[in-house]
Chains A and B, each alone.
Chain A
Amino acid sequence: MAKLEQAIDNHAANLDEETREAVRLASKAKTEKRVNALWTDFDDPNALRKLASQVRQHALDNLPDYLEQAEAAFQKNGVQVHWAEDGDQANAIVLDIMRRRGASKVVKSKSMVSEETELVPFLEKHGMEAVETDLGEYVVQIDGDHPSHIVTPIIHKNRRQVGRSFEREGLGEYTEDPLELTRMARRHLRQKYLDADVGMTGANFVVAESGRIVLVTNEGNARFSMAATKTHIAMVGIEKIIPREQDVPLFLSLLGRSATGQPLTVYTQFIGGPKSASQEEGPEEMHLIFLDNGRSDILASNCKEILRCIRCGACMNVCPVYRQTSGHAYRSVYPGPVGAVLSPLLNKAGFPDLADLPKASSLCGACQEVCPVDIPIPDLLLRLRNKGKQEHAPKTSINTPGLSFWALAATQPAAWKTGLKLGHAMNVVPHALLDVNPSAKSWRSTRELPPFRGGDFRSWLKAHEKKGGAS
């Protein structure tokens, strides 16, 4: 029985009321902000989405050329470029750079890619101190937790929980005042920046033409790590390419508004190389690690459109399933609709292990409607459901009542008629009897069967014909 249940349903069923309410309210507020920002500022935001989608798809269709162009442009800017096929290789490259630089402390700004490679635990295992500097990510780190949203990592926590964590870590006396909590983090993390040897970041965009990465934060943490440290390492997925620097404003317009309702994120950095010679602070070395980690396989698959994603989080904010289940229910780095596509494909333990995620959707289409790069997420979910069936992934079939009965009935009129008669029996038979069939039981555990009202048409028609067809 247990093995037939959907993990995501179980998670949702066991979610405490406080978390559910926090996630629901925050996602709803963000969805409204996004709509307001886009429709107040543009006559036709959909035209922007289509254009951005086209630029990203062009970059992906021509990815090998752009990657080579980017590599050359970065090298010309004095950036050392590295390539990693998977997370282990990427982590090893970071460790190697740190050892060569005699570094032992790294301050890290939020980056989903390093969540994917599990960089922080890896570095800690090798005796390095690695500190998350984004406020939300810092809380996640000290709590030994995982982010539950790609933009707002602690959407599932409230101020009292943060207050208790800060008290426990010795940042100050317990308070539930978000202002005071933020000040505590400011004081604590400031010293971490100043003591650190390496600043570790991701990138929101990689500009092939100019050899610059574009990086946005509201808190200023990425900027701080690049002001206080002597080495900058950026780890980026190979799909992050934007062809031209003049394409960047379009993407920034969409990213800020889609993620947080801002026309532009507070700190938007264009970084291309180590600090200039006259600069007193900042990295003397910049390293860029291009990470594949399954992306080239996705590019070759029928789900390649998901690589257009710019990680704005709008699809999870709007998703009715995400709102009910929260991010941890997706058991992976990327939650929500984008995660339902991306996570099974990137999963280290293989696709079948997360093959249930593409089913965690009512296919309502809201995710595609809000997506700034117009990814047909519902179509991709269907393709992945099909992939699950083709590959006989057991988790694809969980909670799906078998269709074999239906197929039999639909092809044989006599069976169909009997079935309809039996429908009435459902109204008098206790529904618990259905539980002899495990998938029916699991389906029924979260749903009420409505009274059966069909099956009368045939007898009505017969009687009607006898009466001579007059109405």
Chain B
Amino acid sequence: MNARDRILSKVRAATDPLPEKTALPDLDVVASIGSRTMPDAGDANAVCATFEEEWTKVGGILVNDESELIELLKSLDAGKGYADPALALESLKGAFEVDDIFDREQVDTYSFSITRATGAVGETGTIILTDGDTPNRLSALAPWIHVAVLSRENIEATLGAAIPTFGSDPSVVLVTGPSKTADIEGILIEGVHGPGVQICLLV
């Protein structure tokens, strides 16, 4: 017997004699758990409004078009950036130096990056990044400022509703605000390993 079989047989020996096994709660019962911020899934405007509110609450910044984004980046003293070439942000390229290849040898030369969000969750103010829609994982993580471009249509009311959209993507990352820590004396600091400024551009 190898380690696997020995472990499994011990686990079987522990559970087989149980006179009764705890039942698995029905999916609808588990899925019916919603917090007070859960929007009505049938009302697209409400879902979007909740997302905007919750995203702001967790420290995310919201912009509604490219020119607003350019102003914001300027106010943050942004220098060179990276943008996913699929996004075709023409006026942005006029205002900043923007690479369309993310060079891992120079991670710290990018002050911002712009990538696509696959979706979002209204209830928790969360954007969803996937391998499929992010050509380079480092690009969405290493620069101080990260901008996720999110289509309003792709916002789901709850995480439970978003899960089926994950498909078979091997790396789904839910991002709820800027990277943070409270390890030192419980004091909240934003921007630990990931972005210190997390922006969502709604389109």
Chain A residues proximal to chain B, CB less than 8 Å:
22, 25-26, 29-30, 40-43, 47-48, 51, 54-55, 57-58, 60-64, 67-68, 77-78, 83-85, 89, 133-136, 139, 152-154, 157-159, 162, 178-179, 181-183, 185-186, 189-190, 193-194, 218-221, 223-224, 226-228, 238, 243-250, 252-253, 260, 262-276, 278-282, 286, 290, 292, 296-297, 299-300, 304
A281, B171: Cβ atoms closer than 8 Å: no
Cβ–Cβ < 8 Å partners of B172 in chain A = 269-271
Number of interface residues of B (CB under 8 A): 74
Residues of A within 8 A of B170 (CB): 77-78, 271-276, 286
Q: How far is the CA of A185 from the CA of B181 in the complex (A)?
A: 12
Cβ A299 vs Cβ B14 within 8 A: yes
- Chain A contacts for B123, CB-based, 8 A: 263
Mark contacts of B173-186 with chain A using CB atoms, 8 A cut-off: 1 yes-contact digit, 0 otherwise: 11111111111111
Give the CA-CA distance A219 to B191 in the complex, in Å: 8
Closest to B166 in A: A270
Residues of A within 8 A of B184 (CB): 135, 154, 157, 159, 162, 178, 181-182
Q: Which of B10, B27, B31, B137 contacts A292 (CB 8 A)?
A: B10
Q: Contact at A246–B30, with CB atoms within 8 Å?
A: yes
Whether, in the assembled complex, B75 has its beta carbon less than 8 Å from a beta carbon of chain A, the answer is no
Which one of B43-51, B64-72, B89-97, B156-164 is at the interface? Answer: B156-164
What are 27 residue pairs bridging A and B, where the CB atoms are less than 8 Å apart in the complex? A41-B37, A54-B22, A60-B15, A61-B18, A63-B11, A67-B8, A67-B11, A85-B3, A153-B183, A159-B185, A186-B192, A220-B141, A245-B163, A246-B160, A249-B158, A250-B30, A263-B124, A264-B126, A264-B174, A266-B58, A266-B176, A266-B178, A266-B180, A271-B170, A276-B131, A282-B171, A300-B13
Instruction: Say yes or no: B29 contacts A51, CB within 8 Å.
Output: yes
By the criterion CB–CB under 8 Å, are A246 and B27 in contact?
yes
Is B203 an interface position by the 8 A CB rule?
no
How far is it, in angstroms, between the C-alpha of A420 and the C-alpha of B126 when the chains are bound?
Answer: 68
Give CA–CA (A249, B176) in the complex, Å: 14
Query: Distance (Å) between the CB of B76 and the closest chain A CB?
Result: 16
- B12: nearest chain-A partner, CB-CB: A64
Q: Are A152 and B182 in contact (CB under 8 A)?
A: yes
Contact yes or no, B194 A223, CB < 8 A:
yes
Q: Which residues of B contact A224 (CB under 8 A)?
A: 141-142, 193-194
Q: In angstroms, how far is the closest chain B Cβ from the Cβ of A248?
A: 7
In the complex, are the beta carbons of B23 and A267 less than 8 A apart? no
A47 to chain B, nearest CB (A): 8
| Interchain CA distance A189-B7 in the complex, whole Å | 37
Residue from the list A262, A272, A275, A292 in contact with B7, Cβ < 8 A = A292
B138 adjacent to chain A (CB < 8 Å): yes
CB distance from B86 to the nearest CB of A (A): 12
The 4 closest A-B pairs by CB, nearest first: A220-B194, A300-B14, A227-B137, A219-B192
A83 touches B3 (CB 8 A): yes
Contact call A269/B30, Cβ cutoff below 8 A: no
Query: In the bound complex, do residue A260 and residue B179 qualify as a contact, i.e. CB atoms below 8 Å apart?
Result: no
**Are B24 and A190 within 8 A (Cβ)?**
no
A139 to chain B, nearest CB (A): 8
A281 touches B22 (CB 8 A): no
Nearest B residue to A291, CB-CB: B7
